[in-house]
Structure 1
């Protein structure tokens, strides 16, 4: 068993934005081509506790070197008030030859960066004709900081960020950190979510909301909303927008805004396409300049596997991690 801790994982992923973007893009394309297996995520919830959850995301990715495994990710929002990360995660990768578990990776960075890469890939694909120079970030946590990092990787001209969080202190801390990371980036902290929605035509929503609380009335025509937290937008806003998803079966469940829209309408006709379908079509996406475009990614387990496999292979080359040769029973075949 190869064990890769947080430091090992970050040493591979830091500065590897283009490699992560390429891995995520390939995963989306393989999914659109039917070369993945992504069962529905399993939500572990707790009696009398509506906020906390732990989710299992099993998946198979049929790339050149096939990979299978599972991500086990928790979300405990009250951690933030205690100075802890809201989410924590681990990934197990299994051998496709014998089925035995062969690698265990600390996965908080993998999860955050694949989410950010997914958002940036969607933005660069859906705004390919008219790239963005600014972004509004609603929710000032780790995910939106990584989104900002990856958006700058796909939009080198992006020079402005408007930020909002319910906690003004978090907004200010986020702005200070962003200015330190990118000294040429102009960062503006606003007082209301409506101000953020109106400020830029590219918006990233990464909050801990459990019920819809935002509408698109304040957005500019043709605004692209990266609806990463999935439960921010009202049903009316979803229905009046052009909706792009990662996978309709996955995103229309667990009380997401799109699930609520499906329940209200009795169909999924409000979903225009998936990102993978657009990528494999090889035809540049033409933005609707009058209606908002909403990208709602449930977060497919095959994306996590793609990034985890990238990390594992690079770690083996560099000699990173800890090997437990006696973790598996005698006779089990391990990754080499």
Structure 2
């Protein structure tokens, strides 16, 4: 068993935005080819507590580098008031040969960066044929870890990016976020409607538990990265072109798209899945007159693929802590461990 701490994961991923985006893109393509197994996420919630949750995301990714994994990720928004990060996570990788656990990784960094890479890959894909000014700026609504990573990855995928406008319900968080953004023109919006109208790429990464935003303030031709999934009203979803990572996954757990599906009784408002667009199985030209919304549920396949990449790189560099007898009893004879487990 290889144990990879946060410092080990950061050593692999810092400055590796292009490699992370390639890994995420390949995972989307594998999902499009039906080379993945992605059971529905399991949400652990607590009686009388509607904000906090812990989610299990199991997944298998096939292809040249097969991997099986599960991510156990907690979201406790109240942590922010305590000076702690909202999310924490661990990822367990298993051998696809004998099923034994082979690595345990700190997962919050991997989770945030695969989320950001997925958003950046989608933004680059959905604006590939757009006029240059469309890719020159981004509005960030929610000034937390995820949007900071999204900005980092957008900069790696959109070299035209030169301006960012941000908004947070906590003005101090917005100011602190702005102080960490170098080499871009930075503005802090006075309200969310101003932010929505500032640029034609908008990233929503908030802790909202139910829809609270209309897309009416967005400029025509805006691409909305609806990362937190519960910001936009169902009416805004139904009025937009909708791209998702997996239709079945994203239309559940009271997401904005789930609510839209309940209103209409079907999922016909979903225009395309991102893996199919990347594979060339479908086309969605940029539309200067419409709002396009990308809503990624966050497939465990992305976490599994990126965790495998981190494990491989870390092992090659000699990083982490090795526990050779984690899943075996060094004093047991052949078969004794299995017998004891029965």
Q: TM-score range by the shorter chain?
A: over 0.9
Aligned to 1:177: 180
Residues 114-133 of structure 1: pairs in structure 2 closer than 5 A: 114-130=114-130, 131=132, 132-133=135-136
Q: Secondary structure at the match of 1:328?
A: coil
| 1:56 to 2:56 alignment | yes
Q: Which has the larger radius of gyration?
A: 2
Q: Secondary structure at the match of 1:43?
A: strand
**Partners of 1:23 and 1:144 in 2: how far apart?**
20
Q: Would you say the 8 A contact 1:125–1:284 is kept in 2?
A: no
Q: Secondary structure at the match of 2:59?
A: strand
Deviations 1:69-117 (A, max 9, x none): 1000000000001100000000000001110111000011100000000
List gaps (5 residues or longer) in structure 2.
Answer: 336-342
How many angstroms does 1:285 deviate by? 3.7
**Partners of 1:63 and 1:147 in 2: how far apart?**
27
What TM-score do you get using the length of structure 2 for normalisation? 0.94
Q: Would you say the 8 A contact 2:272–2:282 is kept in 1?
A: no
**Partners of 1:55 and 1:177 in 2: how far apart?**
30
Aligned to 2:142: 139
**Partners of 2:242 and 2:128 in 1: how far apart?**
17
Aligned to 1:148: 151
Aligned to 2:32: 32
How many angstroms does 1:256 deviate by? 0.1
Q: Secondary structure at the match of 1:25?
A: helix
Q: Secondary structure at the match of 1:199?
A: coil
**Partners of 1:156 and 1:238 in 2: how far apart?**
29
Q: Would you say the 8 A contact 1:125–1:285 is kept in 2?
A: no
Q: Secondary structure at the match of 2:19?
A: helix
Q: Would you say the 8 A contact 1:12–1:311 is kept in 2?
A: yes
**Partners of 2:290 and 2:54 in 1: how far apart?**
35
Aligned to 1:277: 276
List gaps (5 residues or longer) in structure 1.
Answer: none
Q: Would you say the 8 A contact 2:276–2:282 is kept in 1?
A: no
What TM-score do you get using the length of structure 1 for normalisation? 0.96
How many angstroms does 1:281 deviate by? 1.1
| 1:210 to 2:209 alignment | yes
Question: How many residue pairs end up in the alignment?
Answer: 328
**Partners of 1:328 and 1:307 in 2: how far apart?**
23
Aligned to 1:192: 191
Q: Would you say the 8 A contact 2:28–2:275 is kept in 1?
A: yes
Structure 1 ranges of 4+ moved more than 2 A:
282-285
Q: Secondary structure at the match of 1:213?
A: coil
